[in-house]
A and B are shown apart, each in its own frame.
Chain A
Amino acid sequence: MNRYLKLVNMEIHRFRYILASLMVVTLLSQCGSLIWTIQRVVSAKEKGLTQAEVGFAIPKFLSFPWAIVNTKVWFILPILLSITVLVLYSMIIWYRDWFGRSTFIYRLLMLPSARWVLYVSKLTAILTFVFSMIAFQLVLLVGENMLFKTIVPAGMRTDSTFVEASTIIPVLDTLLPKQFEQFIYSYGLGIIGVIVIFTAVLLERSYRRLGILYAIGYSAACVGVILSPFILGLDRSNSYWYPSEIYTMELAACLLISVISVCLGFWLLRKKITV
């Protein structure tokens, strides 16, 4: 346990600057665009200008969700950037040990503990980064709401709930589902995705050139299995399977992919990757 925590800490420590950079970029992009959007509308309203004169829509009352919708691109871009970086880092987290200075993987693999601990610590680190970014976005939304209330005079704004703001654009709605059950589904699928990426990387590291083909084939097979219940015709009314059966099959497919991927990953680390 102690070694696992040390390894997790090491992985978090290695990524700290990138994580902080992503947070800063998100903060600057979202807050900057929000202030610019709100100020130009407030200023136009204070001057009594019309939509025709300013060239953009001026609502009767401003709300925080309205402000998010109107700063959409600059709100979404840092989120998409963070997602891209984290997906790429799911692979880099392994490769940096091989290709970094003094091939660090040799030292990690020779640690006097089970090798699966290395796998689990890297997975924990990736999940910590993902959930940290989600938590940061939540806190940022609270801060942005306060910023909105500070800039917009009380007479010009209308109140809104926090969830209204956090679900107003599809990307936020997907990242911050208001039902906890949906949170489990969304991030459960995300975790399965990370596990499959890990297994694909380990296949490549184990079999090198041939491993690339194995990795691509394995990833494609996993996507196929996950999607197979839907391919069986969820929306086709004359499908042989009932929706409740397709739901059960989907859960089973996810569980199967997770178990096979984790077991294969552990086995590759233990038997196929040699120092």
Chain B
Amino acid sequence: MKRYLLSIVLGVCTLGILCTYYTYGAADHLPEYKLTTVQGDPKEGADLELSGNYDGRMHTESLVVNGNGSKYRSRETLRDQILGARSWVYNNKEMEQWVRDHRQFMRGKDQTEGFYKDDEWLVYVKVKSPLGRVNQKEVELSVERLNLKTDEVQQYTTQIPVKSDSSNFTNVVDVQRIKDQLHVLASQDTDKSIQYFDYMLNFESGAFIQGEQITHWNNTNKDIEFDYDILYNAGDPSGYAVFKVQENKVKSRGENSYSFEPSGVHLYVYSYQSGKLSALPDPKQILIHGTVYGHTGEVLNYVNVDKNAVHLSRYNLSTGQEERDYATIKATELDAAEILTANLFEDRVYVLMKKGVTPLIAALDVSNGKVLYVGETALEGSALDREKEMKLLNLYNINITKTTS
């Protein structure tokens, strides 16, 4: 027995130390937070998460707080990292739902803008090799469509003409079906600007019918730069595409430095049916940095946020009529001291606020601004260091985990 003493001691000690570590020592003692209901329907808060940092350690700890508790990023394992890969695709709730319902069809499809869905069809359009050559005259569109009633998949490819003089990058930004035509809205990037084109295909055969350049944006002012964006439609297909063009005033432009300041936003609506692009009444004078937009079906909502209030406005895309500030919700009405940010998702406005050191979140009905839910972030367990631990918590983002209806 004495001969084996070294091995026995080594084995027993090693096992004992490792077991002790994973039983007691490996607990990180990070504070546990939870989103709790203060007023309203708890169901409205069930799909909400707040993300940010906990600054009570030498390294900042990223975390997410929801109704079930808090999830720290440092607690993730290899499995969490692999399963959480491509979160930029699968965090989109529509995509998540489609992957669940049509797993085989959704393989390898990652561009949310390339999808179109109605009661009968789920269509995906992408540009094959979007990075074209200079002076290329055509690019190839690949269209896949799934019949939701029969689960039958059809696929076709179509050549579409592109501007051969300067176009070097073509991307699908929206897809709509109007009667028997499939409209593919594509952007073509050049060194100077982005232009948008509406390509019409026969929905049954995929044959190319015609293509129209719908924007002719030119920038001649060197001190002004534009950011072009198309607002994602979170609602039912409406036959409209909304463009947001942000105007930025260049403050400095050096070899190693570049700075600008947003100076305005222009909104344009394109009707697939009429083929017309029209400017929405210019909201430039009222827009501030905290403006959030949401395109849902035939309505474009926008929310202006300042420290003291949330102002809801909307456009009817079919009439172009604006209802500015149709509802204003003050921070005091939500029992908050300060409003931080807001988010629009389908028919809800989510508002992140603070009261003292406590982050709060509210869910409002976008149609009338009615408060449906208010939740607060609470520290679980011992209340000894509550004030200190709440001060170290900084939540910045609202994540909506709700599956689209």
Interface residues of A, Cβ cutoff 8 Å to B? 5, 8-9, 12-13, 16, 63, 65-66, 69, 128, 131-132, 134-135, 138-139, 160-164, 166-168, 176-183, 185, 234-235, 237-244, 246-247, 250
Q: Closest 6 interchain pairs by CB?
A: A237-B110, A135-B17, A135-B14, A182-B77, A163-B28, A185-B78
How many pairs of A and B residues are in contact by the CB < 8 Å rule?
108
Contact flag A131-B77 (CB < 8 Å), given A13-B6, A242-B99 = no
Contact with A along B65-97 (1 / 0, CB 8 A): 000000000110111001111101110000000
CB-CB under 8 A from A183, the residues of chain B are: 22
> For the complex, what is the distance from the CA of A185 to the CA of B107, rounded to whole Å?
28
**Contacting residues of chain B (1-27) with chain A, CB-CB under 8 angstroms:** 3-4, 6-7, 10-11, 13-15, 17-18, 21-22, 25-27
Contact flag A180-B22 (CB < 8 Å), given A163-B29, A237-B110 = yes
* Inter-chain contact A138/B17, CB cutoff 8 Å: yes
CB-CB under 8 A from A244, the residues of chain B are: 83
B254 at the interface (CB under 8 A from A): no
B58 at the interface (CB under 8 A from A): yes
* Inter-chain contact B18/A66, CB cutoff 8 Å: no
For A164, A179, A246, A250, the residue with the greatest tally of chain B CB atoms inside 10 Å of its CB is: A179
Contact flag A164-B82 (CB < 8 Å), given A131-B14, A131-B18, A178-B26 = no
Residue among B7, B13, B78, B86 making CB contact with A182, cutoff 8 Å: B78
CB-CB under 8 A from B83, the residues of chain A are: 243-244, 247
B222 at the interface (CB under 8 A from A): no
CB-CB under 8 A from A13, the residues of chain B are: 6-7
Residue among A12, A139, A239 making CB contact with B17, cutoff 8 Å: A139
B179 at the interface (CB under 8 A from A): no
CB-CB under 8 A from A167, the residues of chain B are: 28, 74
**What is the number of residues of chain B that contact chain A, defined by CB distance less than 8 Å?**
40
* Inter-chain contact B26/A163, CB cutoff 8 Å: yes
* Inter-chain contact A63/B17, CB cutoff 8 Å: no
Nearest residue (CB) in A for B3 is A9
* Inter-chain contact A238/B75, CB cutoff 8 Å: no
Nearest residue (CB) in A for B27 is A163
A205 to chain B, nearest CB (A): 26
B32 to chain A, nearest CB (A): 14
Contact flag A234-B7 (CB < 8 Å), given A65-B58, A131-B18 = no
* Inter-chain contact B18/A134, CB cutoff 8 Å: yes
> For the complex, what is the distance from the CA of A161 to the CA of B29, rounded to whole Å?
7
Nearest residue (CB) in A for B10 is A132
Residue among A5, A128, A177 making CB contact with B14, cutoff 8 Å: A128
* Inter-chain contact A239/B78, CB cutoff 8 Å: no
CB-CB under 8 A from B3, the residues of chain A are: 9
Interface of A is mostly: helix
CB-CB under 8 A from A160, the residues of chain B are: 58
> For the complex, what is the distance from the CA of A176 to the CA of B17, rounded to whole Å?
12
CB-CB under 8 A from B77, the residues of chain A are: 177, 179, 181-182, 185
B115 to chain A, nearest CB (A): 13
* Inter-chain contact A132/B14, CB cutoff 8 Å: yes
B20 to chain A, nearest CB (A): 8
> For the complex, what is the distance from the CA of A67 to the CA of B316, rounded to whole Å?
61
> For the complex, what is the distance from the CA of A13 to the CA of B89, rounded to whole Å?
55
> For the complex, what is the distance from the CA of A63 to the CA of B11, rounded to whole Å?
33
B149 at the interface (CB under 8 A from A): no
CB-CB under 8 A from B82, the residues of chain A are: 234, 243, 246-247, 250
CB-CB under 8 A from B89, the residues of chain A are: 237
Q: List 8 A-B contacts (CB under 8 A).
A: A63-B58, A128-B10, A132-B10, A138-B25, A179-B75, A183-B22, A234-B82, A247-B83
* Inter-chain contact A16/B6, CB cutoff 8 Å: yes
CB-CB under 8 A from B74, the residues of chain A are: 167, 178
Residue among A8, A162, A246, A250 making CB contact with B7, cutoff 8 Å: A8
Nearest residue (CB) in B for A66 is B58
> For the complex, what is the distance from the CA of A63 to the CA of B10, rounded to whole Å?
32
CB-CB under 8 A from B13, the residues of chain A are: 132, 135
For B7, B11, B57, B110, the residue with the greatest tally of chain A CB atoms inside 10 Å of its CB is: B7
Residue among B6, B14, B27, B85 making CB contact with A234, cutoff 8 Å: B85
* Inter-chain contact B7/A9, CB cutoff 8 Å: yes
For B3, B6, B21, B108, the residue with the greatest tally of chain A CB atoms inside 10 Å of its CB is: B21
Contact flag A128-B26 (CB < 8 Å), given A138-B17, A182-B77, A243-B85 = no
> For the complex, what is the distance from the CA of A166 to the CA of B18, rounded to whole Å?
13
> For the complex, what is the distance from the CA of A77 to the CA of B137, rounded to whole Å?
59
> For the complex, what is the distance from the CA of A235 to the CA of B22, rounded to whole Å?
31
Nearest residue (CB) in B for A247 is B82
A93 to chain B, nearest CB (A): 15
B109 at the interface (CB under 8 A from A): yes
CB-CB under 8 A from B108, the residues of chain A are: 238-240
* Inter-chain contact B28/A161, CB cutoff 8 Å: yes
> For the complex, what is the distance from the CA of A238 to the CA of B108, rounded to whole Å?
4
CB-CB under 8 A from A177, the residues of chain B are: 77
* Inter-chain contact B57/A164, CB cutoff 8 Å: yes
